[in-house]
Structure 1
Amino acid sequence: MQQEEYKVIVSPDKMEAVIHFSSVDSVTEQVLSDLLKGEGITFGIKEEVIRMLVEEPPLTEVEVLVAKGIEPVDGENGRIIFDKPMTMEVDQEEKASFRDIIAIPSVSKGDRIARIEPHTSGVPGKNVFGEAVQQKPGKTPNLRAGKNTTYDEKEAGFYAEIDGQLSYKDRAIQVQPLFEVRGDLDLHTGNLDFIGSIAIRGNVPTGYKVKAAGDITVYGMVEAAELSAGGSVHISDGVSGLGKARITAGEDVRIGYINQAVVEAGQDLFVENSALHSQCVAHRSVYCQKGNIIGGTTSAGNRVEAQSIGNRMHTPTGIYIGVNKKVEEKQMKLNQTLKAKMEQKEKLVQIGKSLERKRLKQGELSAKERITSLRQRSSLENNEEEIYELAEQMKSMNSSIGDLDDAYLKAVKNIHAFTNVGFGKYVLRVDVDHTDVHMILDSGEIVIKANR
């Protein structure tokens, strides 16, 4: 057999080698081994193929793969794994109202937002000449810590430095303390619930709910909606609540006007103009700087100031200092309910005693009386549970707010008749109009004095 009857062909990438055979009668393993060695092929030789060629030489012209390298395994790119959802979609199962449109992606200070799963280096390959074939290592994700976030290299994690809205912008993770609505609240945004502060550069229409752990600022007006803030509430225009609006703040409320709404401030309530036919509570002070308080009830911890209290039409108006009138009224209702339940319990107890006397006298009760006895025991059990729940509610309620030592009510212009003024448990009904006066509690008596 002549060598020209076969030759070695190596692929351009050096990963495969074939022997091109012409018609041959026989070939030895040593000849083929020397042939490959002479071409420098030392790796990936298919020994079983060599043996097959020796045992059954090809009778026709053919190319046979006799060596194959190992392909490199490229590394995998690193991944960003978010611990917090980035989407604003609302889970349909958690949707309580058709106005629940978006869920603001929120994080708390110290929360891990995301982590980087590292890339892998991959595994190098080897060609038929025994040469290393370099793999492509994976890439590290291009992500950095943006505003109000930090990156922990040891943990390969991104962490929030503040409470706020989570966002991903310009390859950076950020936490924004403010969620902003550029216009009126509508069905594009729906109800809002956010761990930071909310700014609405428009109005809040009837039926919407806005809740924030921080502040809420509305640059328009609020209709019959609910606003609840852990911080302060600022409403540029005011609230026209139709008796259904509710504004609560852990700190101050600053508002243009209040009309038929419930407003409660954990600290001070500042009303630029008037408060009309509303229930207002401030745990410190209420100031109607340029307007009046007409109708409804206003409760404050230690002071109330306004231009006028009540009006010439003698609209009944209540001012209560040192006591939360709203809570006090609820306590009164609970007391009435509790009294009725106690009376009901006494009747049920008497029915039970009467049935027991009959049983002792007759030896046993009739079928009808046994049914009555079962109903009596069931009703008594339910009644006692209701009494317990009412008593627990009463324990948790405290209508007292503020300190009466320096408490006062001041009207720059008038305090009109039909105004009820209370300092703690002391109440005075104003029967005639008074001008430029203030009222204080002195030795258990409410005293009216001229302003200086």
Structure 2
Amino acid sequence: MNLGTAVAVSVSEDRMSAFIQLAEPDLAQSITKAGLVELLRANRVVYGIKDEALAAFAIQPLNYVTTPLLVAQGMAPIAGEDGYIDNLFSLESKAAKPKENEDGTVDYRELLKLNNASKGQLIAQRVLATKGTPGMAVTGEAIIAKDGKEARFKQGKNVVIDAEKMKMYAVIDGLVTQTEKGKLNVFPVYEVNGDVDYHIGNIDFIGTVVVRGNVLSGFRIKAAGDIRITGGVEGAELEAEGSIDIASGIFAGNKGHVKAGVDVKSSFMQEANVFAGQNVVVSQSILHSNVRAGNSVICKGSKGLIVGGSIQAGEMIQARTVGNPMSTATSLEVGVAPELRSELQQLRAAIKQVMENLDKSEKALYLLDQMALAGTLTPDKMELRTKLLSTKRTGTEELAGMKDRVWEIESSLEDIERAKVEIIGTVYSGTKVVIGRYTRFIKDATTRVAFQLQGGEITLSSNF
């Protein structure tokens, strides 16, 4: 019997579902599951057929006079996933959180983590889109799936993309930044438009740092390039492999330090600790500060004043005025690299300590030797004697090495013919001039004078 009269078949518009419904209740007894399968096939329904639903319909067809029964379900297509750019640096703008230390305390200065990238470093990579998975209609027809959309790099400045267009690299050392329209850039300069305070935190950058404000006490800036401050610096720590330029000066209160691999320039320095691989240039004054420069310290602007503290330079110190009428102690030292002079001081202190330890060992060994001669040396004393002999031998070798190094440094102090201190204006009493290993104390105020080593003594001259 043809069930087409007894049972109505309907297919959804998207061809994803097929339904059957009893059309002629009087013919219900003639319905079988096999007949229903043939009926569906005749209506081109061949995929996703639900056997249990057909069986239920065949058993109780009268249940489906008014309610159609779902007897076939297609498989929906699965769209492919879109490709994307995997940025290897976090470029999201998040509220800065302070660093929590191991002991539970919080350092509110450790807020900022810059996206530093080195030249040649991978900064982003492209993840390919995936293909879609086709679906199947109940009529057996494939339903095309949408493939994922490929992502494309948005190339900014100082970045390069490989030939396969799969990876992006930094061309220079710098800061990875996302700008308008999602472009990735690497900038060699990091700028702070304001003060370095608790809103910014410490800075550690692979390029040059520019601060358009002040650097407050307790904060730190480290830069592989230069540091430029348009304001002033308090008791902070500034370290640059290049140069440091401070427009409004340093007022440190004997806290923190400023260290540059090349030059340090500032309008003034007060109670500051400053170290430069080459030159320190100050336009106004250096007051009660510790300043060291591998080459020269220049302070000869309109004021050009150095008062108090210690100024050290490898070759030259130039100033307009040094000291004051109150004979404030001021030390000017040239003729040896500051780091060598510092090493020499440390060596002398270490030699003194080693000699004291050797003296103690000698005295203890003398007593133990006396006990050995008297035959009263116990096993534990014998062990102590062995240890002291080893300590003495090690200390003697260490002492000899340190003395050799001292001799090397002191020998270099002799080669200081070019070292010079030049005072354009007045140098006051209380000033100490050191050239190499020689020292001269200024007893009376003197104007326009240069100090230089000649014939084993520091001489004065006005010819410069």
- Please state which band the TM-score falls in when normalised by the shorter chain: 0.7 to 0.9
For residues 404 and 258 of structure 2, the distance between their equivalents in structure 1, rounded to whole angstroms, comes to 24
**Matched pairs, number:** 447
Contact 2:319 2:424 (8 Å CA) reproduced = yes
Which residue number corresponds to residue 330 of structure 2? 317
For residues 386 and 12 of structure 1, the distance between their equivalents in structure 2, rounded to whole angstroms, comes to 100
Which residue number corresponds to residue 38 of structure 1? 42
Which residue number corresponds to residue 122 of structure 1? 132
**Is 1:428 paired with 2:444?**
no
Contact 2:99 2:106 (8 Å CA) reproduced = no
The Cα shift of 1:256 comes to 0.4
Which residue number corresponds to residue 107 of structure 1? 117
Contact 2:315 2:336 (8 Å CA) reproduced = no
Unaligned segments of structure 1, at least 5 residues: none
Amino acid across the alignment from 1:194: F
Which residue number corresponds to residue 182 of structure 1? 193
Find the residue that maps to 2:253 and give its secondary structure. strand
Contact 2:98 2:109 (8 Å CA) reproduced = no
Which residue number corresponds to residue 351 of structure 1? 364
Contact 2:368 2:385 (8 Å CA) reproduced = no
Alpha-carbon deviations, 1:360-404, whole Å to 9, x = none? 7446539xxx48976994998699689959968996996969974
**Is 1:272 paired with 2:273?**
no
For residues 215 and 403 of structure 2, the distance between their equivalents in structure 1, rounded to whole angstroms, comes to 33
When structure 1 is superposed on structure 2, of 152-161 and 270-279 the one drifting more is: 152-161
For residues 79 and 404 of structure 2, the distance between their equivalents in structure 1, rounded to whole angstroms, comes to 70
Amino acid across the alignment from 1:113: I
For residues 305 and 406 of structure 1, the distance between their equivalents in structure 2, rounded to whole angstroms, comes to 14
Percent identical among aligned pairs is 32
For residues 114 and 183 of structure 2, the distance between their equivalents in structure 1, rounded to whole angstroms, comes to 18
Amino acid across the alignment from 1:343: E
Find the residue that maps to 1:187 and give its secondary structure. coil
Q: CA RMSD in A?
A: 3.7
**What is the TM-score normalised by the length of structure 1?**
0.85
The Cα shift of 1:229 comes to 1.0
For residues 180 and 261 of structure 1, the distance between their equivalents in structure 2, rounded to whole angstroms, comes to 24
**Is 1:20 paired with 2:21?**
yes
Unaligned segments of structure 2, at least 5 residues: none
For residues 296 and 162 of structure 2, the distance between their equivalents in structure 1, rounded to whole angstroms, comes to 46
Contact 2:417 2:454 (8 Å CA) reproduced = no
Contact 2:126 2:152 (8 Å CA) reproduced = no
For residues 158 and 423 of structure 2, the distance between their equivalents in structure 1, rounded to whole angstroms, comes to 47
For residues 292 and 351 of structure 1, the distance between their equivalents in structure 2, rounded to whole angstroms, comes to 56
The Cα shift of 1:237 comes to 1.4
**Is 1:451 paired with 2:463?**
yes
- Is the alpha carbon distance of 1:172 and 1:196 closer, same or farther for their aligned partners in structure 2, counting shifts above 3 Å? same
Amino acid across the alignment from 1:348: S
- Is the alpha carbon distance of 1:417 and 1:68 closer, same or farther for their aligned partners in structure 2, counting shifts above 3 Å? same
**Is 1:288 paired with 2:307?**
no
Which residue number corresponds to residue 365 of structure 1? 378
Matches within 5 A, 1:406-425: 406-425=418-437
Which residue number corresponds to residue 300 of structure 1? 313
For residues 109 and 389 of structure 2, the distance between their equivalents in structure 1, rounded to whole angstroms, comes to 41
The Cα shift of 1:121 comes to 1.6
The Cα shift of 1:263 comes to 1.0
**What is the TM-score normalised by the length of structure 2?**
0.83
**Is 1:246 paired with 2:257?**
yes
For residues 158 and 415 of structure 2, the distance between their equivalents in structure 1, rounded to whole angstroms, comes to 40
For residues 102 and 401 of structure 1, the distance between their equivalents in structure 2, rounded to whole angstroms, comes to 45
For residues 185 and 414 of structure 2, the distance between their equivalents in structure 1, rounded to whole angstroms, comes to 41
Which residue number corresponds to residue 452 of structure 2? 440
Q: Which of 74, 77, 81 in structure 2 is aligned with 1:76?
A: 81
For residues 249 and 401 of structure 1, the distance between their equivalents in structure 2, rounded to whole angstroms, comes to 24
- Is the alpha carbon distance of 1:392 and 1:198 closer, same or farther for their aligned partners in structure 2, counting shifts above 3 Å? farther
Which residue number corresponds to residue 156 of structure 2? 146
- Is the alpha carbon distance of 1:416 and 1:213 closer, same or farther for their aligned partners in structure 2, counting shifts above 3 Å? same
Contact 2:430 2:441 (8 Å CA) reproduced = yes
Alpha-carbon deviations, 1:132-182, whole Å to 9, x = none? 212222233465122222233526222222222222233122223222222
For residues 128 and 70 of structure 1, the distance between their equivalents in structure 2, rounded to whole angstroms, comes to 8
Find the residue that maps to 1:294 and give its secondary structure. strand
**Is 1:167 paired with 2:177?**
yes
Find the residue that maps to 2:458 and give its secondary structure. strand
- Is the alpha carbon distance of 1:392 and 1:116 closer, same or farther for their aligned partners in structure 2, counting shifts above 3 Å? farther
